[in-house]
Chains A and B, each alone.
Chain A
Amino acid sequence: MADIISKELKDIIADPNTLKVLATVDKNGVPHVVFKGSFHVNEEGNLVFYEVLESAQSNKNLVHSIWFDKKVAINILSADKQSFEIVGKPLKSITAGREFEKTYIALRESKGDIDLAAIWIIEPEQIKNETFSVRVSEDEEKYPILKHLDRLFVQ
């Protein structure tokens, strides 16, 4: 799939002050939402994050997703309150090998005594601007009848 993440959004994702939330579901359909600060975009335009806990629910749910071709969602909230939802599919889980080891070493150098369970690569399929002001404008334009009447009352 083509690189669908804009340069502007890549910069937002790369900003350490941006909040990045991953939403997955388990095998029974129970949702799970967790912050993943390591999200970034690789050269192929895919989202990458580092799962440090083997037992993490998100890790289990991503395995379930990659096994059964299920989608996951990521929400990005920038420091200036811009929000984007990215829906995609896990492409690959790297659990060993040179790339894994390189990341493991870098993580331990920057974060201290932590482990690494997997490098997850997620292919984005759909991006939606969920910034509040943008969504309000969209709603006003597309759904003018979806509002309370008192908002239309002449003072």
Chain B
Amino acid sequence: MSINDKTKWRENELSYEQVLDKYPDIPPIVALKIDVSRRGISYTDKAFAKVDPNVHHVEPYDYMIGHGQNVSPIGLFLRDGSVICQAHSKVYDWTYRDPYILDVVDDKLVIVDNDKVYEEAWFWEKPDFYDKFTSNGTPMRMVASARPQRITIAPATKCHFWDNPKEGCKYCALFSGHRAANDEGDIRDDKWFQDVEETVKEAIKQKGRYASYHMTAGSTLSGAEIFDDEVDLYINTLHAAEKAFKVKKFPVKLVASAFSKKQLRRMYEETAITTYTTDLEVLNKDLFGWVCPGKAKHVGYEEWKQRLYDAVEIFGRGNVDCGIVGGVEMAQPNGFTDEKEALKAVLSEAEEIASHGVSFAECVWNTLPGAIFMRQKTPSLEYYVQLALGLAEVRRKNGLNIYTDDYRRCGNHPNTDLARID
């Protein structure tokens, strides 16, 4: 029995084609990216046969959640130069919608749904540094990861909001896989900082590959003031990376906890950092407490917002970004049940926050194994298309840029892809 035979999801929401007809301002390729992000994409054997680990960027296919075994490419290029950040999607007994299919037709990789070919796609390519080792013998691929145009260092793989049961963000499968781990994998001594320096130096030998240095990690709550230890770790890691560059400031995208003004000033004044992102995740105070209980307990929704505004004072309008998990406001039983009401509430709150100089980067909520919300039903494509268009309009209206999280420097946000034609 197919998934649709079981859930009848296709009968209950507008199809991709119907959404395009109803919303002519959404580029079809962006709508497809949204839908693939929402539903996932499963590779056929023929598609997997096209993978050459010596050429293509592969990782354990569920490496983001920490228990992968087989390898899969982790992303696809589309013909407009944008990307889809999706590895092979497995189907589970709770999967509500059929994933798209990545198949091979006429020797080309193509994205298929219901036997219809929608777009050609290409695998991302492997970074040169992935085969190299630091002088300490550490594989560089263990020190940094990459997207087609950015290098990422994650100094801490554990998110301490998970330290207390049920306080991690409920949609999250990124850190939930590590929630039972201790910090043994995160020893950040002089040897590790040397590894960072050598890896970044090696990476940027690949000319034209990187347009952004990205740092992110799980939240570390410890320190004299909450997040002080996290700030120290980022500063020390950035100092190691800075040795690879001849300029004081370079394009650094930091996605981190909501730091205090004092902590932000330290980051800005002591490091190369140029932009800062901290994620409210869900733009609703009540739902924030339910979806992100750790963030709500240790910082709080209003304080998180205030810290975003404080960051604008330091980094400037458009250089501060707020990530959201688009659609999670409809998680049940506490979320919105009506898509129109949800959209109105989210965009209204986005407008208020953007008026303070904060841009938005929307990820499409996808229910992943390991997340508390893994059995939830995500909203319709129509909802996501309206959300992407609405957030793009909020950004335009407030005269904000989104370079730090655009299609090149990130690639995982439909609303920022739309900025390519502004």
Q: Which residues of A contact B408 (CB under 8 A)?
A: 54, 95-96
Q: CA of A3 to CA of B85 in the docked complex: distance in angstroms?
A: 34
Tell me how far the C-beta of A67 lies from the nearest C-beta in chain B, rounded to whole angstroms. Answer: 3
Count class of interface residues, chain B: 20 to 34
Q: Does A128 touch B at the CB level, under 8 Å?
A: no
Q: Are A96 and B420 in contact (CB under 8 A)?
A: no
For chain A, residues 31 to 86, give those with C-beta under 8 angstroms from any C-beta of chain B.
54, 60-61, 63-64, 66-68
Secondary structure dominating the interface of B: loop
- Complex Cα distance, B418 from A27, in Å, reads 12
A143 to B420, CA, bound (A): 44
A side interface size, CB within 8 A: 26
List, in ascending order, chain A residues with CB within 8 A of B421's CB: 26-27, 60-61, 63-64, 67
CA distance A95 to B78 in the complex (A): 10
- Residues on B with C-beta less than 8 A from A68 are 27
A108 to chain B: which residues have CB within 8 Å?
Answer: 207
Task: Output the nearest chain A residue to B208 by Cβ-Cβ distance.
Answer: A104
Cα distance, A104 to B206, chains bound together (Å)? 11
CB distance from B359 to the nearest CB of A (A): 17
| Nearest A residue (CB) for B24 | A68
**With contacts A60-B422, A67-B29 known, is A96 near B80, CB below 8 A?**
no
With a CB–CB cut-off of 8 A, which chain B residues contact A104? 207-208
- Interface flag for A18 (CB, 8 Å): no
When C-beta atoms are compared, the residue in chain B nearest to A54 turns out to be B408
How far is B407's CA from A60's CA once the two chains are assembled, in angstroms? 13
| Nearest Cβ on chain B to A88's Cβ, whole angstroms | 15
Nearest CB in chain A: distance from B17 CB, A: 15
Q: Which of B79, B407, B422 is the one whose CB lies under 8 Å from A66?
A: B79
User: Residue-by-residue, is B64-97 near A (CB-CB < 8 Å gives 1, otherwise 0)?
Assistant: 0000000000000101111000000000000000
Query: In this assembly, does B201 line the interface, its C-beta being within 8 Å of a C-beta of chain A?
Result: no
Is A105 interfacial (CB-CB < 8 Å)? yes
The reply to whether the CB of B209 lies closer than 8 angstroms to some CB of chain A is yes
A116 interface contact, C-beta 8 A: yes
- 8 Å CB contact of A118 from B30, B81, B124, B422: B81
Report the Cα distance A63→B209, complex, angstroms. Answer: 21
Residues of A within 8 A of B124 (CB): 96-97
B148 contacts A by Cβ under 8 Å: yes
A101 interfacial contact with B, CB 8 Å: yes
Residues in A101-122 with C-beta less than 8 Å from chain B? 101, 103-105, 108, 116, 118
* Highest count of chain B CB atoms <10 Å: which of A26, A54, A60, A95: A95
Q: Let me know if B207 and A97 touch, CB within 8 A.
A: no
In the complex, which residues of chain A have a beta carbon less than 8 angstroms from the beta carbon of B125? 96-98
Q: Which residue of A lies closest to B82 (CB)?
A: A95
By the criterion CB–CB under 8 Å, are A100 and B27 in contact? no
A64 — which chain B residues lie within 8 A by C-beta?
421
| Closest A-B pairs by Cβ, 4 of them | A104-B208, A67-B27, A95-B81, A96-B148
Interface residues of B (CB under 8 A from A): 27-30, 77, 79-82, 122, 124-125, 148-149, 206-209, 407-408, 420-422
Q: List 6 additional A-B contacts (Cβ < 8 Å) besides A95-B77, A118-B81.
A: A67-B421, A93-B80, A95-B82, A96-B149, A105-B207, A108-B207
